[in-house]
Chain A
Amino acid sequence: MAALELEGVVKDYAGVRAIHGIDLKVEDGDFCVFVGPSGCGKSTLLRMIAGLEDITGGELRIDRVRVNEQRASERGLAMVFQTYALYPHMTVWENLAFGLENIRTPKAEIKERVTRAARMLQIEEFLGRRPKQLSGGQRQRVAIGRAVVREPRVFLFDEPLSNLDAELRVAMRREISALHRRLGNTMIYVTHDQVEAMTMADRIVVLKAGRVEQYGTPLHLYNEPANQFVAGFIGSPRMNFIDAVVDGTDAGKVTVRDAAGQAYEVSVDGSGISPGQEVTVGIRPEHLEVGGDKGHPVSVQSIEQLGGQSFLYCETPDGTQLTAHFVGQTSMRRGDKAHATFRRSFMHLFRKSDGKALKRLEIGEAAI
């Protein structure tokens, strides 16, 4: 049980800065997910917290105690690796007991803790086997079990599900969430999969190129992305973006016009922009309505019908790609001409210059 604080944490590799001054506070008992594209530094940051990488600058505190200088073995954390990293020459039992033996836990207690963890993770019948005799899912459980028996202050997960097949991934996702609820420990989980982040996290940290883009609850990130990167990264399929120029700003709304001359009204705070400035309009696929005879003309490029939901891939006359998602089935076909409706309370507006989002005044999602 521990709270984790990062203050101005920096990492340099041979003079090249990989992590640029990260400030972060993970509350005790939180499930915090680091998400970002590959190479964004999320794994590096996790390894720095674990103590497997040196911290070049800044301060890392666990329970308000500076731990920069402590070695991995002294920080009281446990980590689940992407490759599982089970000791191949040891049985499952020995794998689970190794960490406890290292801190000279009494034999009886080792036995009790290993048995308890094995029962919880349903790996009791494999205790005598070697890792190579286990399937991917079983290895994953053993790897988690190895962390659980240690009763660590903080659990660290480094993309633990990326080696599993899709079905198993969904099942393990729920198991890890259940484990968090049961143990109540602070957990930090690294993934590049925003679905994992959205479904499991109490709070998400979106990272890009060694910087925190945004930190908040999943729905906060979804509803009020701080910038165009977060807006595009969170949500699947990704948000539609249309380049536009500011036409005018009124109280409570901003009017913009795209390259084809179509006008959009967005309900954001326009105090930071002026007419003539380049912006990007964003709208999520599920908020784009295609059909009817009013709105912006589009042509349907392709359709994916999943039965319960459908995806329409459309193109505007000036070549901008738009994706629309709706529940149910559609009678539309490829090549059909249709109209897309943009509702201003569902729309986002980003400054072209720095990608920053303008504050939304009405949030359509919250109303649904």
Chain B
Amino acid sequence: MATVLNFLTRRRGRHGFDLTDWLSWAYLVFGTVLMFGPVLWVVLSSFKTDAALAQYPPTLLPFAAKTVAVEGYDKPLELYRITGGEYQGRHLAEIRRIGLVAQMVDPAEPDKRLKVNIKDRQPEQALAFAVSNYTELFSRFNFARYLWNSVFITVVATVITVLFNSMAAFALAKYKFRGRTAVFLLIIATLMIPPTINLVPIFLVVSKLGMVNSPWGVIWPAVATPTGVFLLRQYMLTIPDDLLDAARMDHASEWRVYWRIVMPLSAPAIAVLTIFSVMWRWNDFLWPLIVLTRSEQFTLQLALNSFQGELQTNWSHLLAMTVLTLLPITFVFAFLQKYITTGIAQSGVK
């Protein structure tokens, strides 16, 4: 704790703030607001009711109108503070609004109806988190299903991606065969083709293989990534050949050399590829949109999209789902990012 405080209050000026301190603080605060502001706003907005979302001017925190139960009325009524006119200073509940005039009632005297100009009243508001936005995702929508679809596709595709790409990288990095460079260049060259160009041919293949409306239709076309092969190959080139030779002398089969020696030593690169792959698959939208047409196969991203209708958009649920969709990727990144920095292979070779 002390070290964190020490770190945060570190500054250049020996006595008080130096100009550079001001500048760097201003820059960093600006950057933080720029990066986290929108995310924070989404998170806070996801707790707003539809009414609060539609309110103008918008508020940062989720406020909801205070309501009061009045005798003789079935539903709770919204409470207003009267700022002008006859009833100034009183707190009244609104029954209905007719044009510029609101019919109101004093909760203390439920029998009397009062007429108030709508200019003379201010809604009474209180901080309220509309948790129902989240709970309704599970009760009214099939959120668990979408979550499972997304998790299944992400996890399976990532495992297969890492496995296939590392095998390709191992072969390209550690075996000498005719055409090795050509194969590698071919793989890298596919990076230059925009994915949209492949869309139709890949769809035809997927469709012929009967994988439309199946998670495998999303998984298989995505597992061979040139970026992954390139990343892992470059890393594996740094593993000394002597280690592989030593393992071969130790009776290890080529598979064991790959599995017991090369894979553990490539852990940092594999962590990077895992993060990439999880992000790609989790955030993937266009390809699942094409392959998955039945709503029970939808991933979270597709479900989010379906909230946005042609005529109306269900903002409160959309925002709540957006937040839930952001969470796993945030955790994966927070957990794995330390491997990128700390996992540099320790050297047993001098």
Contacts and interface: CB of A to CB of B under 8 A. Distances in A.
B350 A163 contact: yes
A50 B242 CA distance: 13
Interface string B262-292: 0011000000000000000000000000000
B348 A87 contact: yes
A71 B248 contact: yes
B186 to A, nearest CB: 23
B256 interface: yes
Contact of B346 (A51, A77, A82, A89): A89
A77 B249 contact: yes
Contacts of B261: 87
A78 interface: yes
B248 A85 contact: no
B240 interface: yes
B348 A52 contact: no
A325 B252 CA distance: 51
A88 B261 CA distance: 9
A85 B240 contact: yes
A83 interface: yes
A171 interface: no
Contact of A78 (B243, B249, B264, B265): B249
Contact of A50 (B243, B249, B260): B249
A82 B350 CA distance: 9
A99 B346 contact: no
A78 B248 CA distance: 10
Given A81-B246, A88-B265, A139 B350 contact: yes
Contact of B242 (A73, A85, A139, A150): A85
Interface centre among A73, A78, A81 (most CB of B within 10 A): A73
B111 interface: no
Interface string A221-249: 00000000000000000000000000000
B348 A79 contact: no
Interface in A75-107: 77-79, 81-89, 98-99, 102-103
A297 interface: no
A157 to B, nearest CB: 12
Nearest to B263: A89
A26 to B, nearest CB: 18
A11 interface: no
A131 B242 CA distance: 15
B327 interface: no
B84 to A, nearest CB: 77
A99 B250 CA distance: 4
A73 B348 contact: no
Nearest to B264: A89
A6 interface: no
B245 interface: yes
A98 B349 contact: no
B9 interface: no
Contacts of B242: 81-83, 85
Contact of A85 (B260, B264, B346, B348): B348
B251 A102 contact: yes
A130 interface: yes
B3 interface: no
A103 B256 CA distance: 12
A251 B349 CA distance: 59
Nearest to B260: A98
B345 interface: yes
Interface in B207-263: 240, 242-243, 245-253, 256, 260-261
A49 B314 CA distance: 73
B261 to A, nearest CB: 6
Contacts of A130: 346, 348
Nearest to A132: B346
Contacts of B246: 79, 81, 85-87, 146
A248 B252 CA distance: 64
Contacts of A84: 348-350
A20 to B, nearest CB: 23
A337 B250 CA distance: 62
Contact of A73 (B240, B251, B350): B251
Given A88-B345, A89-B265, A83 B249 contact: no
B282 to A, nearest CB: 30
A86 B265 CA distance: 12
A136 interface: yes
Nearest to B250: A99
B18 to A, nearest CB: 42
Contacts of B346: 88-89, 130-132
Interface centre among B245, B256, B260 (most CB of A within 10 A): B245
B256 A79 contact: no
A67 interface: no
B198 interface: no
Given A85-B240, A87-B261, A88-B345, A72 B248 contact: yes
B20 to A, nearest CB: 40
Nearest to B243: A85
Contacts of B347: 88, 132
A47 B243 CA distance: 14
A132 B350 CA distance: 9
A47 B241 CA distance: 13
A149 to B, nearest CB: 10
Contacts of A78: 249
Given A85-B242, A87-B261, A136 B249 contact: no
Contacts of B248: 51-52, 71-73
Interface in B122-156: none
A150 B250 contact: yes
Nearest to B261: A87
A78 B245 CA distance: 11
A77 B251 CA distance: 10
A85 B252 contact: no
Contacts of A52: 245, 248-249
22 contacts: A52-B245, A73-B250, A73-B253, A79-B246, A81-B242, A81-B245, A83-B240, A84-B350, A85-B242, A86-B246, A86-B348, A87-B261, A88-B346, A88-B349, A89-B264, A98-B247, A98-B252, A99-B250, A99-B251, A102-B252, A131-B348, A132-B346
Given A72-B249, A83-B349, A98-B250, 17 more contacts: A50-B245, A50-B249, A73-B251, A73-B252, A73-B253, A78-B249, A81-B242, A81-B245, A82-B242, A83-B240, A87-B246, A88-B349, A89-B264, A98-B260, A99-B252, A102-B252, A103-B251
